[in-house]
Structure 1
């Protein structure tokens, strides 16, 4: 059994298949899941697990070279935006662009988050 890092076997297995530039989405419970994109749904009630909890767990085990968030988060959910920016530098795109980009994702992790625009697209980097 893994001692450190991501212990969710579905997420750990999916992340092990990532290569450079593959896309990972962590989304709130309202983000549409495109047909054909693998989704690991962690939600079990409204608000749980929280988006930031899952983002922290993923970033501890995933090399992200770029991140994208919806610019609408600035007005609608500044607390989550500030926490994201403490963890990594994210570029702003529109929420519609984020949903289109999620069609190219290798994996979407759905949280129970129920605050506006608590979604992020992470582009896989390399560790060397």
Structure 2
């Protein structure tokens, strides 16, 4: 039996298969998309599990380099909560049409939460543990990695048990 972390078999497998720059989208309960082998449906009832519970579990095992919200509709509760859970990741906005296309076509995995709220969708791009990755080389990081490295050193394990 697994010691802890994500115990949902398909979600655990999905996280383990994420490579650098792969895309996982965590949706609210109402996001329309085609269900296929990339779908991990966790929704049980309204807000069960909620978006933050799902993201905290994912954060325990996945390095998230960047995340995106829908630019046309902002949900301050989701934005603030996700930003607090992923303090070392870059935040961007993407058009609603991009989200609808990505859940059907380009996301490696689509995780449906029970989030019962408008604009409760978050795109996650997997990253690398920049600090330990670069420390293992003995070399200076490329200049374009410096901000990620600083954030990773400051927040990389915050919230990870």
Same fold (TM over 0.5): yes
Return the offset for 1:113: 1.0
**How far does residue 35 in structure 1 lie from its aligned partner after superposition?**
5.5
| Maintained 8 Å contact 2:22/2:107 | yes
Number of aligned positions between the proteins:
126
Match of 1:83 among 81, 84, 95: 81
Question: Normalising to structure 2: TM-score of the pair?
Answer: 0.71
Greater relative contact order, per chain length (Cα 8 Å cut-off, separation 6+): 1
Aligned partner of 1:110 in structure 2 is: 112
Q: Shift in Å at residue 37 of structure 1?
A: 5.5
What's the TM-score, normalizing by structure 1? 0.88
What is the Cα-based RMSD across aligned positions, in Å? Answer: 1.6
Give how far 1:116 is off.
0.4
Local SS of the residue matching 2:110: strand
Deviation string for 1:46-85 (max 9, x for gaps)? 22110111011111111111111112342xx211211112
Q: Which has the larger radius of gyration?
A: 2
Shift of 1:95: 1.7
